[in-house]
Amino acid sequence: MVLRFSRTFVTCAVAVTALASSVQEIAAQAVKAKPPKIRASRGGILYEDDEIKLRIPRPWRMLSTAEKAAGILLLEKNHYTLRLEYHTVQASGIIGGRFLEIFNIPWLTADDAWTCSEGLTQDPWPASRQLMFVNLIVDTGDAKVRENCGVPKPLGTWMAKDGSREYVGNRRWFGDYFTTRAGFYFFADGDNDHDCGSKAYMLTSQATSLDQLPIAVVAAQNHNPDYKRCSPF
């Protein structure tokens, strides 16, 4: 498969994802795999282990290889991070997982981040025949959202465009996650194999405050790996 991402009018970074270290430790114990093969491929590199095969085109690059044994790939491009947890487990017993298991909100405490997450607008887009990605939007024009997310005032501003002025910027893109028709944060393998893990894929960036979030939505298509086993579909 080919990993492709397109961006439209993205102005700055979005929040970095993080999972609890306990999840990573459990996942590392669950994966029983040979070391991955990483080799040059046309226009990029090819990553392959006993579970997935993924061609990573330039300018995307792989980050630290320390988590590969845990069934996690981290890819970066232009300060955006794509986190592919293709063999993982949930920290909670909630079906499909919870927001705070795959995201954090750097400028809020865990309790406040939970409250803020409940008011995020979810905007789904098709990503492939099997997957869709869900954009998470912080609407700072909504007084309730501002209260829950610690936003002192709307972030919109007047901008010149085509000889006129328009008010833009209230709606900020926080990040997105990939899901199936069920709409869960985590989706399980389809092989019903006890040696398979769940999947959780998300795209974020490096914003540390809400005003750094981009105005426009980041769009992604066809990021799904080729599954050698433990396919979720």
Q: What is the pLDDT of residues 18-38, one digit of tens each?
A: 322 333 333 344 444 577 888
Is there a domain that residue 122 lies in?
yes
Is there a domain that residue 68 lies in?
yes
Q: Which domain holds residue 188?
A: 4-227
The predicted pLDDT at position 15 comes to 28
Is there a domain that residue 129 lies in?
yes
State the Cα–Cα distance between residues 21 and 206, nearest whole angstrom: 19
Task: Answer for the pair 104, 20: CB distance below 8 angstroms, yes or no.
Answer: no
Is there a domain that residue 125 lies in?
yes
Instruction: Give the residue with greater pLDDT, 87 vs 232.
Output: 87
Instruction: Give the residue with greater pLDDT, 51 vs 194.
Output: 51
State the Cα–Cα distance between residues 233 and 219, nearest whole angstrom: 22
Q: What is the pLDDT of residues 143-160, one digit of tens each?
A: 999 999 989 999 888 888
Is there a domain that residue 232 lies in?
no
Q: For the chain, how many structural domains are there in total? A: 1
State the Cα–Cα distance between residues 115 and 137, nearest whole angstrom: 14
Closest by CA to 59, choosing from 7, 13, 12, 5, is 5
State the Cα–Cα distance between residues 159 and 170, nearest whole angstrom: 12
The predicted pLDDT at position 29 comes to 40
